Amino acid sequence: MSERYDAIVIGAGVIGAAVGFELSKKGYKTLNVDKLSAAGHGSTGASCAIIRVHYSTLDGCALAYESYHYWKDWAAYLGLDDGTPLARFVECGCMIYQTEQNQYLETVLARARELSVPFDVWDPEEVERRLPIATAAKYGPVKLPNDPAFSEAVEGQRLGAVFFPTAGYINDPQLSAQNLQRAAQAKGATFRFNQSVTDILQEGGRVAGVMLADGSRIESNVVINVAGPHSMKINALAGVDGAMNINTRALKVEVAHVPPPAGYDYEHDAFVVSDSDIGCYSRPETGNHILIGSEDPACDERIFVDPDQWDDSFTEQWKTQVYRQAQRYPGLPVSSPLKGVVSLYDVSDDWLPIYDHSSLPGFYMACGSSGNQFKNAPVAGKLMAELVEYCEAGHDHDQHPLQFRLDHIDFVLNTARVSRLRKVNAESSFSVLG
């Protein structure tokens, strides 16, 4: 005997849970199904969970600044009053070095001015005053540690930076997804874990539901693919991948956790840092550690994998990222034990998300979102819920794309910018920065 829902969401990461929450708020009877054991146990739990408001694209900047307002007042957004422990937004700010690689942030600052995003410009002396364990010396372009010139700073050149105060990180990304699950359940949503989707059902030329690995048949006229690194496989099951200009793949990523230079309280005195001069980003981590990720410089190998068959062990990339961070923080302990996270990101061809319907009526997707869309989860949930309503009401989204209003910042997003049919966006960084 089959079950029936108004909408099935494949995935219960932070974006999948947000989609379930927003649809439930609109009165949909929803089911989130996830192959893992709890909400946020996949890429969300491995996310660096950075909340930043700077992007090179106007739409990316707008989505991020709008989303900041939801994280800023997370409790009010969720509407929970039952004592549920909530994820915490640590609003420590974000500093971005001005480098040749990012065109000295000219485009980023233009976008910020357009949207009235606050920022401060710091000269090299101010950078070192605000972050006294750092040197403002220039080391780029990014090199591998075995390069003879790796440890040599460029003589006579120092880097300034831009600081965005409306930024920081979420202390527990997994908990944020579970908060959204709880909020959705309070609106009547259902979640089912430890179940893989094995087929996308179709009848009469549109989606009709899903089949699960245990043989369950679950019917719905709306199915939304928010499967993270498995999104490419779900799109293939639905037969919609051939009708997309932008596709997604699963990318192996490594993040290092190391202690700071001796005597410095990094957890409480530092902030998020984006450093394209050394090819790393970093943020404070619980327990007075530094979390170090890669900004995907051209000299590094990108390892795309089958999300069901991949090696989750650390590689030389871990050491490479730590050595690069030691360029910036000369006192950084580089012989630390291998600690951190190895995970998969769901990456699109231009590293920008796909929030769209598909060539199969009733089948939707929120894909290509890993690495730089955690911060946008609340707004992505709202966007997808409105998109479902728009398309199911009979609108031709491909010809007349949904115009999605961002209420906090008074901006209208033309969702053609996040379409599966868009051309590769040349404004993208083609990296985790989006």
Helix axis angle for 106-114 and 58-72, nearest 10°, is 60
| Chain centre to alpha carbon of residue 169 | 12
Fill in the amino acid letter for 313.
Answer: S
How confident is the model over 380-404, as pLDDT tens digits? 999 999 999 999 999 999 999 999 9
Check whether the bond before 141 is cis (ω within 30° of 0): yes
pLDDT at 287: 94
| Phi, psi of 158, rounded to the nearest 5 degrees | -130, 155
The predicted-structure confidence for 225-273, as pLDDT tens digits, reads as follows: 999 999 999 999 999 999 999 999 999 999 999 999 999 999 999 999 9
* Cα 39 from Cα 288, distance rounded (Å): 27
Report CA 144 to chain centroid distance, whole Å. Answer: 26
In the predicted model, what is the mean pLDDT of residues 362-368?
Answer: 97
User: In this predicted structure, what is the pLDDT of residue 406?
Assistant: 98
Q: Which of 117, 75, 62 is nearest to 380 (CA)?
A: 62
Residues with Cβ within 8 Å of 92's Cβ and at least 6 positions away in sequence, in order, are 167, 168, 169, 270, 271, 272, 283, 284
- Is the confidence at residue 1, as pLDDT, over 70? no
Average pLDDT, the chain: 96
pLDDT score of 152 more than 70: yes
**Confidence (pLDDT) at 427:** 75
| Length, in residues, of the chain | 434
- Torsions phi, psi for 228 (to 5 deg): 60, -135
What kind and span of H or E run contains 77?
helix 74-78
Counting Cα atoms < 13 Å in the Cβ hemisphere of 241 gives: 15
> Tokens for 219?
């019917």
pLDDT value of residue 335: 82
Q: Distance between CA 149 and CA 290 in Å, rounded?
A: 25
Q: What is the pTM of this model?
A: 0.96
CA distance 252 to 255: 10
Please state the domain extents for the chain. 3-86+172-246+350-418, 90-167+249-348
The architecture in CATH of the region 3-86+172-246+350-418 reads 3-Layer(bba) Sandwich (3.50)
169-225: per-residue pLDDT in tens? Answer: 999 999 999 999 999 999 999 999 999 999 999 999 999 999 999 999 999 999 999
Residue spans of beta strands (DSSP E) within 75-230:
89-90, 94-97, 120-122, 161-164, 168-170, 190-192, 197-203, 206-212, 217-219, 223-225
The contacts of residue 203 (CB under 8 Å, 6+ apart) are none
Q: Which residue has the tokens 């974006």?
A: 15
For the stretch 67-95, pLDDT in tens is 999 999 999 999 998 899 999 999 999 99
Q: What is the mean pLDDT of residues 359-380?
A: 94
89 Rama class: left (phi>0) / alpha (psi -120 to 50) / beta: beta
**∠ CA 45-272-384, rounded to 5°:** 50
Interacting residues of 106 by C-beta distance below 8 A, sequence separation 6+: none
Question: Is 1 or 210 the better-scoring residue by pLDDT?
Answer: 210
CB 18 within 8 A of CB 180: yes
Complete DSSP assignment for 274-322? EETTTTEEEEEETTTEEEEEE---TTS---EEBTTB---S--HHHHHHH
Q: Can you say how many angstroms the Cα of residue 314 is from the centroid of all Cα atoms in its chain?
A: 21
User: Which residue's structure tokens are 């997804």?
Assistant: 177
Q: Class for domain 90-167+249-348, per CATH?
A: alpha beta
- The owner of tokens 């010396």 is 137
Residue holding tokens 């700010």? 93
What is the average pLDDT across 160-167? 98
Per-residue pLDDT band at 425 (split at 50, 70, 90)? confident
CB distance 236 to 198 below 8 Å: no
Residues 6+ positions from 301 with CB-CB distance below 8 Å = none
Residue 434 pLDDT = 59
3-state secondary structure of 347: strand
What is the spatial distance between Cα 98 and Cα 108, in angstroms, rounded to a whole number? 10
